[in-house]
Amino acid sequence: MTRQSVQELKAKDIMSRNIVSVTPDEDVASALGKMQHHDINEVPVITAKGKILGLINYETLLRKRSIPMTTKVENIMSFPPRVSEDALIIDIAETMLSSGYRAVPVTDRDSIIGMVSRTDLINIIPEMNILKEIMVQEIMTTSPHFITEKDTVDQARNSMFRLDVRALPVTNAKGELTGVIGIKDLAKISYQIKSRQTRGDVAGGKSSSSKVEVKSVMRTPAVSIAKDAKISDAVKMMNKNDISTIIVTEMGQPVGIVTQYDLIELIASFKSEEQVFVQISGLHEAEPEAYDMMYEMIQKSVKRMAKLVTPKIFTIHVTKHDMGSDRTAGNVTIRGRMTTEHELFYSTATDWELALSLSTMLSQLEKSIRKDKEKKQSISKKSKK
Q: Is there a single domain that holds both residue 97 and residue 162?
A: no
What is the percent of the chain where pLDDT is above 70?
86
**Does 146 share its domain with 258?**
yes
Q: What share of the chain in percent tops pLDDT 90?
A: 35
Would residue 260 count as lying in a domain? yes
Q: Which pLDDT score is estimated for 323?
A: 53
pLDDT of residue 293: 87
pLDDT surpassing 90 at residue 269: no
Mean pLDDT for the stretch of residues 137-141: 84
Residue 271 confidence class, pLDDT cut points 50, 70, 90: low
Q: Return phi, psi of residue 264, to 5°.
A: -65, -40
pLDDT of 160 reads 84
Cα–Cα distance measured from residue 134 to residue 256, given in angstroms and rounded to the nearest whole number: 16
User: For residue 384, what pLDDT is reported?
Assistant: 64
Name the domain boundary from 122, 154, 171.
122
What total of structural domains would you count in the chain?
Answer: 3
Give the Cα separation of 101 and 88 in Å (integer): 17
The residue among 90, 122, 154 that closes a domain is 122
User: What is d(CA 97, CA 70) in angstroms, rounded to the nearest whole number?
Assistant: 32
Is residue 21 located within the same domain as residue 75?
yes
Beta-strand pair 111-117/103-108: antiparallel
Q: Using the predicted structure, report yes or no on whether residue 72 has a pLDDT greater than 90.
A: yes
155 in any annotated domain:
yes
Quote the pLDDT of residue 272: 55
Higher pLDDT, 381 or 355: 355
CA distances from 369 to 43, 302, 337, 374 (A): 42, 11, 12, 9
Q: What is the pLDDT of residue 113?
A: 95
Compute the residue count for the chain.
385
Where would I find the beta strands (DSSP E) of the chain? 42-46, 52-57, 103-108, 111-117, 141-142, 147-148, 167-171, 177-182, 224-225, 245-250, 253-259, 277-281, 311-320, 332-340, 344-351
Q: Is there a single domain that holds both residue 317 and residue 346? A: yes
How does pLDDT run across 360-376, given as a tens digit for each residue? 999 999 999 999 888 88
Domain boundary among 240, 264, 288: 264
Confirm whether 129 is domain-assigned: no
CB count in 10 Å sphere of residue 9: 18
Residues 100 and 208 reside in one and the same domain? no
Does 127 fall in a domain? no
Q: Is the per-residue pLDDT at 1 higher than 50?
A: no
Looking at the structure, tell me whether residues 259 and 286 fall in a common domain: no
Q: Which of 15-24, 29-38, 55-64 has the lowest mean pLDDT?
A: 55-64
pLDDT for res 77: 93
In a domain, 190, yes or no: yes
Domain with 239, as residue range(s), is 135-264
Is residue 130 domain-resident?
Answer: no
- Please check the confidence at residue 4 and state whether its pLDDT lies above 50: no
Global pTM value: 0.69
Mean pLDDT value across residues 226-243: 91
pLDDT score at 367: 93
**Beta carbons of 187 and 58 less than 8 angstroms apart:** yes
Give the pLDDT band (50/70/90) at residue 55. very high
Q: What CATH number does residue 356 fall under?
A: 3.30.160.100
Do both 8 and 81 map to the same domain?
A: yes
pLDDT digits (tens, 9 = 90+) for 179-232: 999 888 887 776 666 565 555 544 334 445 667 899 988 999 999 999 999 999
Could you read off the pLDDT of 293-315 as tens digits, one per residue?
A: 888 899 889 888 988 888 888 88
